[in-house]
């Protein structure tokens, strides 16, 4: 079973700071997901990637398959970015059997 | 946009009750999932289904069952609720294989068992 580790667990930063959240996993994967969860519970999918880099607005996600590591970056952070960010991985092989999740990074951006 | 709707945001039940959590998606997705989320443990997969009447156990199926009689609806059943089942429950769906598709989540049901 894949072990997914995120760091840091908690992060408080000032508005406009550059934010990096890290995710590492133990076993080869077919895809890695970055998810965002705001207070109240709803989860939104930010990125799904299997190689390289993806960018959406101020968010950038990278993955290094050889090192089994991914990072989520937020440029020019804003208080509305405050949320829990969750890394999740999808295994290889046949079938559709759900994701394995990290425990999440609780991000607070102060004005 | 895909809409995944969970029947209740908050639910309070008593120990021993049979509890039904309902999830409906409107995009004809094949795969549906039930997760629970607990502080310090993250999200964990309870059950999933890849087709009508098909179900597969996830990582923590004990104490739960599921039903998928129609493609759009996936129900989670707590046969005899216990206090350790107090948690946030999240439903998700994907089109095709979960590995290659983004998961669409409902808003969650916060269930308290007294």
Cα angle: B11, vertex B16, B21; to 5 degrees = 35
Among residues of chain A, what percentage have pLDDT more than 90? 77
Residue in A40, A26, A24, A22 with CA at minimum distance from that of residue A85: A22
Average pLDDT over residues A78-100: 85
Whether B103 contacts B94, CB under 8 Å = yes
Each residue's pLDDT, cut to its tens digit, for chain B (114 residues) gives: 769 999 999 999 999 999 999 999 998 999 999 999 998 899 999 999 989 999 999 989 999 999 999 999 999 999 999 999 999 999 999 987 656 788 899 999 999 999
User: What was the pLDDT predicted at A30?
Assistant: 87
Residue B100 φ then ψ, to 5°: -115, 10
Nearest CA-CA distance, residue B18 and chain A, Å: 24
Whether A14 contacts A101, CB under 8 Å = no
Residue in A45, A27, A18 with CA at minimum distance from that of residue B2: A45
- Which residues of chain A have a CB within 8 Å of the CB of B45? 97-99
Please report, for residues A52, A107, B86, B107, the alpha-carbon distance to residue B94 in angstroms, rounded to integers and kept in the order given: 23, 27, 26, 16
Whether chain B has a CB inside 8 Å of the CB on A39: the answer is no
Give dist(CA A40, CA A62) in Å, integer: 28
Whether B72 contacts B87, CB under 8 Å = no
- Burial status of residue A79 (CB atoms within 10 A of its CB: 0-12, 13-18, 19 or more): exposed
Whether residues B107 and A97 touch (CB distance < 8 A) is answered with no
Whether B49 contacts B71, CB under 8 Å = no
Whether chain B has a CB inside 8 Å of the CB on A57: the answer is no
Whether chain A has a CB inside 8 Å of the CB on B97: the answer is yes
| Residue contacts between A and B (CB atoms, under 8 Å) | 74
């Amino acid at each position: 079973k894949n072990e997914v580790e995120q760091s840091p667990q908690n992060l408080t930063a000032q508005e406009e700071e550059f934010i990096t959240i890290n995710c590492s996993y133990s076993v080869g994967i077919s895809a890695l997901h970055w998810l965002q969860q705001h207070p109240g519970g709803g989860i939104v999918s930010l990125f799904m990637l299997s190689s390289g880099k993806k960018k959406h607005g101020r968010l950038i996600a990278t993955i290094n398959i050889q090192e089994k590591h991914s990072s989520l970056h937020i440029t020019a952070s804003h208080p509305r970015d405050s949320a829990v960010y969750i890394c999740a991985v999808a295994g290889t092989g046949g079938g559709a059997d759900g994701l394995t999740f990290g425990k999440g990074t609780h991000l607070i951006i102060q004005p | 946009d895909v809409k995944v709707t969970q029947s209740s945001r908050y639910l309070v039940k008593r120990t021993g009750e049979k509890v039904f959590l309902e999830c409906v998606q409107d995009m004809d997705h094949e795969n549906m999932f039930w997760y629970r989320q607990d502080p310090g443990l993250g999200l964990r997969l309870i059950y999933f289904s890849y087709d009508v009447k098909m179900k597969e156990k996830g990582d923590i199926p004990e104490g739960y069952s599921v039903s998928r009689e129609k493609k759009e609806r996936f129900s989670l059943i707590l046969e005899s609720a216990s206090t350790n089942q107090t948690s946030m429950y999240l439903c998700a769906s994907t089109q095709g294989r979960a590995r290659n598709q983004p998961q669409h989540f409902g808003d969650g049901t916060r269930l308290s068992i007294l």
